[in-house]
Amino acid sequence: MIGKLAVTLDLVASCLALAALTGCGDSAPPPVAPGSTVASSEPTASTPAAGEVSGRVVDDAGEPIASATIRGYPIRKESLDETWRQDHTRETTADLSGSFELTGLLEGRVYLSTSAAGFCGTASTRRECLTDDRDVEIVLTRCASVVGRVFGPDGRPLADAHVEMRAFAPAPGSQVARGGTDRDSVTGSGGYYSLPSLPLGEVELIATHPRHREQSLFIELHAGDAITGLDFHL
* Type of residue found at 58: V
Reported as a single tens digit per residue, the pLDDT across 95-135 is: 999 999 999 999 899 999 998 888 876 656 778 888 889 99
∠ CA(83), CA(84), CA(85), 5° rounding?
90
What pLDDT does residue 173 have? 55
Q: Rounded distance, CA 47 to CA 23, Å? A: 34
The per-residue DSSP string of 171-226 comes to: PTT-B--TT----EEE--TT-EEEEEEEPSEEEEEEEEETTEEEEEEEEEE-TT-E
Verdict on whether the full-model pTM lies above 0.75: no
Q: How many Cβ atoms are within 10 Å of 133's Cβ, its own excluded?
A: 16
What pLDDT does residue 170 have? 65
Q: Rounded distance, CA 214 to CA 33, Å? A: 70
Domains of the chain, first to last: 50-141 (2.60.40.10), 144-233 (2.60.40.1120)
Cβ–Cβ < 8 Å for 217, 164: no
